[in-house]
């Protein structure tokens, strides 16, 4: 029996998003909620952890989808075009190259969503707290991660194009 793969990057993205959600919701409100229900939470810790993991995974999937649409709004309606070549040809004839591309896609998703989460967190901390240095640093980190994501994306697109052109020539 096979199982569905758990994408760890979606869980990471969800945990990142929970930071700005808690800032917007009010971190003190979350602490008060926990303090009022400490006994209940201790008795049901395993269930609470599972609920938090499931919630973060779901939020991660939502943020990933949202950032994908922001990156390329056409992707919401159209499938990707790999230079007229079907990705199954790459997957079947060049499995190592295909795995490299899939791995790069997961890294790009994580970078893209991390940049988004950092930017939203920076704005949320700036708006909902009295701090100014911390949100500035968070926003700067978001900008730097955005630049890193963009550079990595361009490099991956060049690599993808090269691999698909090679696959077309060989087949």
* CA 80 vs CA 76, 77, 83, 125, 160: distances in Å: 10, 10, 9, 36, 12
Asked if residue 1 is part of any domain, the answer here is no
CA separation, residue 144 to residues 4, 100, 109, 149, 165 (Å): 34, 24, 16, 9, 32
Number of domains in the chain: 1
For helices 8-25 and 27-36, what crossing angle results, to 10°? 100
Instruction: Quote the domain boundaries for residue 133.
Output: 8-166
Q: Name the CA dihedral angle for 1, 105, 149, 12, rounded to a multiple of 10 degrees.
A: -10
Do the domain assignments include residue 171? no
Looking at residue 96, its pLDDT comes to 79
* 109 falls within a domain: yes
Taking only the tens place, the pLDDT of each residue in 39-79 is: 777 777 778 788 889 999 999 999 999 999 998 888 767 66
**Residue pLDDT, tens place only, 2-43:** 556 668 899 999 999 999 998 888 777 777 777 777 777 777
Count of other CB atoms within 10 angstroms of residue 107:
15
Q: Three-state DSSP class for 29?
A: helix
């Amino acid at each position: 029996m096979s199982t569905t793969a758990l994408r760890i990057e979606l869980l990471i993205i969800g945990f990142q998003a929970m930071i700005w959600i808690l800032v917007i919701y009010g971190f003190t409100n979350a602490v008060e909620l926990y303090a009022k229900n400490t006994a209940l939470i201790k008795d049901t810790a395993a269930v609470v952890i599972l609920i938090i993991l499931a919630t973060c995974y779901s939020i991660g999937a939502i943020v990933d989808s949202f950032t994908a649409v922001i990156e390329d709004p056409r992707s919401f309606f159209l499938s990707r075009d790999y230079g007229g070549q079907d990705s199954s040809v790459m997957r079947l004839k060049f499995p190592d190259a295909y795995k490299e591309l899939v791995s790069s896609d997961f890294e790009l998703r994580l970078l893209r969503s991390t940049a988004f989460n950092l930017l939203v967190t920076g704005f949320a901390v700036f708006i909902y707290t009295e701090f100014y240095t911390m949100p500035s640093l968070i926003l700067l980190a978001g900008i730097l991660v955005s630049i890193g994501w963009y550079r990595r994306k361009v490099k991956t697109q060049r690599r993808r194009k090269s691999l698909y052109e090679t696959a077309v020539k060989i087949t």
